[in-house]
Amino acid sequence: MRIPVALYPYCSQLLPIVKTFEELQSKYALKRLISPPGFGLIGKDAGYASNQITVGMNVDSDCDFSTPEWEVLFVIKTVGSESISDELLENVIKKAIQSNKSVAMFDNECSSIPEYIRILQNIYPDKIETHMGNLQKPVSCDNADRSTYYHFNVPVILVGGLVEEADTLEVLLHLASEFRKSGTFPSVITNSPLADIFGFHNITPIFQKHDLTESQKISELNFILHGIQDDERPDVILMEAPDAVIRYNDFALNGFGIHSYMLCQAIDPDYFICCVPCELAVGNFLDALSADFTYRLGCPIHAAHVSNLIIDSLNLIQTHQISYIHADLKTVRQQIMNQSKGSSIPLFNVVDDQGEALYQYLCEIMTI
């Protein structure tokens, strides 16, 4: 019997989680999506957040937690929910507990439990479970040599985007689901705070270690990832790039893709799926990017997912911040139709077919 849960605060970044939640784990059943006022999502289907097809689950307000439909509130701090204050989160958690619900909090940007959560745990013992940014060390690391650089003996697939919001998590989750359904076991590396719910691994904490130099972080990544391979014996390793894979332009630096570069120094990708905003899915441009990534990341682009995300160029120039709108999926389909013949890199729309075509293509070019 699955445990019924609600997600809070729902935002567009959680849509891929919503779509694949019950495919990728068997412990929980997703019953409610809850959003605070101001996000513009209350009363709308979950797919509305990214202008995608109807998911079949509407977003509710945080006014009434008395419904018996769900038992556990998943409070998730992720990109897109930064505007929600700790005070609001504290009030929501209190309301849930006072409505006889349990709470599980997920935050991979925080290595220790926030003070207000500690206070609530003292007041309501056994009601709050925390999943902070702590990486569980693989068992095989206990006897491994930290001074060795390890190589990997299974195919490694990197999923990354030109901007962080360009559906990298969506592509990763659908591919993980397709591999599992086919009987192929993937070890999955993601940035999602819900990683451990799905049996995935979150390496974000390594990048946040202030006591390690950048080169030591690369060594630590190599050590941990090799330990995961030894523990799980996967058929394939699926990795979500930890940041945008490249400087977007002179106005949006994207952190220069430094973390993605570090990850690719720690583990060589064999295949690279690049997620690109709709208007950038152009053959010549992708070919130039692919040549650059061959040197930058050690791997060319093998396939591109075309996102319905469109960058607001004017706002980018004025604010030096990336903002965007979501085009309808017809625009994506038309772009793929127009550009496929002139592109040496195959173009896919994972949102339309839940990754089936991309998965089949990978099976054709990979040896597992």
Q: Are residues 116 and 247 in the same domain?
A: no
Q: Are residues 119 and 206 in the same domain?
A: no
Bridge-partner residues for 273, per DSSP?
159, 303
Q: Are residues 178 and 314 in the same domain?
A: yes
CATH of the domain at 46: 3.40.50.720
Q: Are residues 341 and 361 in the same domain?
A: yes
Q: What pLDDT, on the 0 to 100 scale, is given for residue 254? A: 65
Q: Are residues 233 and 357 in the same domain?
A: yes
CATH of the domain at 251: 3.40.50.300
Q: What pLDDT, on the 0 to 100 scale, is given for residue 209? A: 86
Q: Are residues 273 and 315 in the same domain?
A: yes
Q: What is the pLDDT along the chain (368 residues), one digit of tens a residue?
A: 899 999 999 988 899 999 999 999 999 999 999 998 888 899 999 999 898 988 999 999 877 788 899 999 999 987 666 667 888 888 999 999 999 999 999 987 666 778 888 898 999 888 999 887 666 777 777 777 888 999 999 999 999 998 877 799 999 999 999 999 999 999 999 988 898 899 999 988 899 888 999 999 999 999 999 999 999 999 999 999 999 887 766 666 666 889 999 999 999 999 999 999 999 899 999 999 999 999 889 999 999 999 998 876 666 666 667 777 888 999 999 999 999 988 999 999 999 999 999 999 999 999 76
Q: What pLDDT, on the 0 to 100 scale, is given for residue 324? A: 76
Domain boundary (87, 111, 132) is at: 132
Q: Are residues 156 and 12 in the same domain?
A: no
- How far is 86 from 316, CA to CA, in rounded Å? 29
Total residues found in the chain within this entry = 368
Q: Residue 301, exposed/middle/buried by CB under 10 A (0-12, 13-18, 19+)?
A: buried
Domain boundary (132, 167, 189) is at: 132
Q: What pLDDT, on the 0 to 100 scale, is given for residue 82? A: 65
Q: What pLDDT, on the 0 to 100 scale, is given for residue 252? A: 61
Q: Are residues 159 and 30 in the same domain?
A: no
Q: Are residues 120 and 170 in the same domain?
A: no
Q: Are residues 66 and 153 in the same domain?
A: no
Q: Are residues 83 and 224 in the same domain?
A: no
Q: What pLDDT, on the 0 to 100 scale, is given for residue 320? A: 67
What is this structure's pTM?
Answer: 0.93
Q: What pLDDT, on the 0 to 100 scale, is given for residue 315? A: 67
- Terminal alpha carbon distance of the chain: 34
Q: Are residues 214 and 280 in the same domain?
A: yes
- How far is 186 from 366, CA to CA, in rounded Å? 14
Q: What pLDDT, on the 0 to 100 scale, is given for residue 250? A: 63
The number of distinct structural domains making up the chain is 2
Residue that is written with structure tokens 């899915």 in the block: 281
- Residues 98-129 as b or e (16 or more Cβ within 10 Å = b): eeebbbbbbbbebeeebeebeebbeebeebbe
Q: What pLDDT, on the 0 to 100 scale, is given for residue 208? A: 86
Is the torsion defined by CA of 119, 123, 125, 128 positive or negative?
Answer: negative
Domain boundary (132, 165, 199) is at: 132
Domain that holds residue 318: 139-365
Alpha helices per DSSP H over the chain: 15-20, 86-98, 115-123, 168-181, 204-207, 214-232, 258-266, 283-296, 313-319, 329-339, 350-353, 356-365
Bridge-partner residues for 272, per DSSP?
158
Pairing of strands 324-326, 309-311: antiparallel
Q: What pLDDT, on the 0 to 100 scale, is given for residue 113? A: 78
